[in-house]
């Protein structure tokens, strides 16, 4: 390593160190605000429009958007009909999720004055439904948090040359610390500053790339045409089903998730919750396209010798960190690195706080100890954050199939939880028996049918060859079963009527 590269790494290391210390300071300051369970979990239901919007945007704009979006655009393009994959799920499906949530869900859930998403299933259906939902969401978000941990390790290792395990541990400890101190207040305030740093970093990187590829006007000419395909190039059932499934994976699958709805519950009123989601969705579509465009330019940048091709052959998701390393001046690189860390940590804090709240409130208090005081619940929530942090760290460090399991987990949420949430909000005749039957049928179809057709192997169940069949039809089956079962059991199991 040359003296110059050592100096660059020192500059990067100092910049990242300052950023991490600032995040810890914000957590310490907000710990003085978050003294009650309401302040800790839903920020006292006082989040303004700008805070709600920035928190939603920063939570959504994660390591997957930057690393996965640019890497997938480089390797697959916008949509690759042959492989049935591309960047449609993220950022475009993810942006659609925020818009749908804002238009149809956020204001209704905010009106119910809930503490967690699982509270909706408790109030609308009952304790059995609440328990099943809580277990599924907690297990899912452990893997989601682990994915963020892995992304942090990749960035710090690729750019700073830090040890991979050390990178993961440092990022995890800082995220845990400010989350356990300040709760949603800490998450929301750090999300705001993280969003600013992130946007500056992504925009500056894009500006650095433009002169290398010939300027803005040259973009349509230098990007390979096959990578600009937005729609399937084959008019077959499977090709279009895969494309639809790509929109559904995050576009619908992330709606019944606790990190999204926690922002709705923390907004100061219904209008703020609704507007914040819609604005952040539009922002996400716009700014989330920048990593995609840079990934689409990857072939040209490799041909010019600016980025080495060998690391990308092993892992396309290293594209953006390598782009920063080889194209940005050190001072600008510090901002960009901090922006990437901001994207990861803003998602990781939500991935810890939301399921920890469910574990403490919906399992610890509602089921195990109903007479638990608010003060004890606050302590338990902080303990649960610590437990889930350790679990995520261990999984991220040791388990090789975290990403596949994470995708599979969100597939299960779409298969089992989407229909009971939608019907519970918009169809008064939905009852608990119908909701449970719908949840079970959707999840069984996703697992059992996939196993029977694709084989009962890890890959056959988690990410089968024709994955799009199970992504599309599981929530449809869940919806049909929920409606039919609810109609049949109306008298035996009358639905709970709540104002939504």
The CATH number of residue 125's host domain is 1.20.1730.10
Q: CA-CA distance, 89 to 68, in Å (whole number)?
A: 10
Task: Mention every residue, 6+ apart, whose C-beta is less than 8 A from residue 183.
Answer: 30, 34, 39, 40, 41, 43, 353, 381
Residue 345 and residue 418 share a domain: no
Task: Mention every residue, 6+ apart, whose C-beta is less than 8 A from residue 144.
Answer: 347, 351, 406, 409, 410
Q: CA-CA distance, 361 to 285, in Å (whole number)?
A: 34
For residue 80, the cross-strand partners are: 85
Phi, psi (deg, nearest 5) at residue 2: -75, 165
Residue 456 and residue 387 share a domain: no
- Number of separate domains in the chain: 2
Q: CA-CA distance, 94 to 333, in Å (whole number)?
A: 27
pLDDT at position 2:
42
Q: Give me the domain span that covers residue 282.
A: 3-399
Q: CA-CA distance, 260 to 277, in Å (whole number)?
A: 9
Residue 186 and residue 299 share a domain: yes
In a domain, 175, yes or no: yes
Phi, psi (deg, nearest 5) at residue 339: -65, -40
> What is the token pair recorded at 444?
């069984």
Residue 342 and residue 486 share a domain: no
Residue 459 and residue 360 share a domain: no
Q: CA-CA distance, 93 to 100, in Å (whole number)?
A: 10
Contact 92, 102 (CB under 8 A): no
Place of tokens 């999720």: 97
In a domain, 408, yes or no: no
pLDDT at position 130:
92
Residue 308 and residue 188 share a domain: yes
Contact 116, 266 (CB under 8 A): no
pLDDT at position 80:
92
State which of 338, 372, 399 marks the end of a domain. 399
State which of 343, 371, 399 marks the end of a domain. 399
Residue 280 and residue 385 share a domain: yes
Residue 323 and residue 207 share a domain: yes
* Of 284, 263, 258, 282, the residue nearest 273 (C-alpha): 263
State which of 353, 374, 399 marks the end of a domain. 399
Residue 47 is given by DSSP the state B
- Angle at the Cα of 133 (from 132 to 134), degrees rounded to 5? 95
Each residue of 137-184: pLDDT tens digit?
888 888 888 877 777 777 777 667 778 788 888 888 888 887 887 777
Residue 433 and residue 333 share a domain: no
Q: CA-CA distance, 199 to 178, in Å (whole number)?
A: 22
Element (H, E) at 180: helix 164-213
* Of 398, 403, 353, the residue nearest 177 (C-alpha): 353
Polymer length in residues for the chain: 500
* Of 267, 220, 247, the residue nearest 89 (C-alpha): 247
Contact 352, 175 (CB under 8 A): yes
Q: CA-CA distance, 121 to 108, in Å (whole number)?
A: 14
Residue stretches of the chain with pLDDT short of 70:
1-9, 27, 30-34, 63-64, 158-159, 185, 187, 343, 400-406, 499-500
In a domain, 366, yes or no: yes
In a domain, 428, yes or no: yes
Residue 425 and residue 308 share a domain: no
In a domain, 65, yes or no: yes
| Alpha helices for 358-373 (secondary structure H) | none
Q: CA-CA distance, 467 to 470, in Å (whole number)?
A: 6
Residue 207 and residue 127 share a domain: yes
* Of 400, 407, 408, the residue nearest 461 (C-alpha): 408
In a domain, 406, yes or no: no
Q: CA-CA distance, 58 to 52, in Å (whole number)?
A: 10
> What is the token pair recorded at 223?
């990007």
In a domain, 405, yes or no: no
Residue 240 and residue 371 share a domain: yes
pTM confidence score:
0.88
Contact 241, 470 (CB under 8 A): no
Q: Which long-range CB contacts under 8 A does 211-216 form with residues at least 24 apart?
A: 212/301, 212/304, 212/306, 212/327, 213/297, 213/300, 213/301
In a domain, 404, yes or no: no
């Amino acid at each position: 390593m040359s003296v110059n590269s050592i100096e660059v790494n020192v500059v990067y290391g100092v910049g990242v160190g300052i950023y991490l210390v600032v995040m810890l300071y914000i957590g310490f300051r907000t710990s003085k605000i978050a003294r009650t369970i309401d302040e800790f979990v839903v920020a006292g239901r006082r989040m303004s429009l700008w805070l709600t919007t920035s928190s939603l945007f920063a939570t959504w704009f994660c390591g997957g958007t930057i690393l996965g979006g640019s890497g997938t655009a480089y390797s697959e393009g916008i949509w690759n009909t042959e492989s049935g994959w591309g960047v449609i799920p993220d950022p475009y499906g993810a942006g659609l999720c925020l818009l749908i949530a804002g238009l149809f869900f956020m204001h209704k859930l905010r009106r119910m004055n809930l503490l967690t998403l699982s509270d909706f299933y408790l109030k609308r259906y009952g304790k059995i439904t609440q328990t099943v939902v809580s277990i599924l969401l907690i297990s899912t978000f452990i893997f989601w948090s682990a994915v963020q941990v892995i992304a942090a390790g990749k960035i710090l290792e690729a750019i700073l040359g830090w040890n991979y395990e050390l990178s993961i541990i440092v990022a995890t400890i800082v995220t845990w610390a400010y989350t356990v101190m300040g709760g949603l207040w800490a998450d929301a305030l750090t999300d705001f500053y993280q969003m600013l740093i992130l946007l500056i970093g992504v925009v500056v990187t894009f500006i650095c790339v433009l002169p290398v590829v010939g300027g803005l006007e040259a973009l349509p000419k230098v990007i390979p045409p096959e990578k600009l395909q937005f729609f399937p190039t084959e008019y077959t059932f499977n090709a279009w089903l895969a494309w639809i499934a790509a929109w559904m994976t995050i576009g619908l699958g992330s709606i019944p998730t606790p990190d999204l709805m926690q922002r709705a519950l923390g907004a100061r009123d219904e209008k703020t919750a609704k507007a914040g989601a819609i604005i952040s969705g539009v922002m996400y579509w716009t700014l989330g396209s920048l990593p995609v465009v840079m990934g689409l330019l990857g072939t040209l940048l490799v041909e010019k010798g600016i980025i080495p091709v060998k690391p990308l052959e092993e892992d396309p998701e290293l594209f953006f960190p390598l782009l920063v390393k080889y194209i940005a001046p050190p001072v600008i690189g510090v901002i960009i690195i901090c922006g990437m860390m901001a994207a990861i940590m803003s998602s990781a804090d939500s991935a810890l706080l939301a399921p920890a709240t469910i574990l403490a409130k919906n399992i610890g208090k509602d089921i195990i100890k109903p007479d638990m005081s608010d003060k004890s619940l606050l302590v338990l929530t902080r303990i649960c954050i610590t437990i889930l942090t350790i679990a995520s760290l261990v999984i991220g460090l040791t388990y090789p199939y975290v990403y596949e399991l994470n995708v599979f987990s969100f597939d299960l949420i779409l298969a089992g939880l989407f229909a009971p949430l939608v019907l519970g909000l918009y169809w008064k005749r939905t009852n608990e028996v119908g909701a449970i039957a719908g949840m079970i049928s959707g999840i069984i179809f996703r697992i059992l049918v996939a196993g029977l057709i694709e084989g009962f192997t890890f890959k056959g169940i988690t990410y089968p060859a024709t994955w799009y069949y199970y992504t599309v039809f599981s929530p449809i089956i869940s919806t049909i079963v929920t409606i039919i079962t609810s109609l049949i059991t109306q008298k035996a199991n009358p639905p709970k009527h709540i104002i939504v």
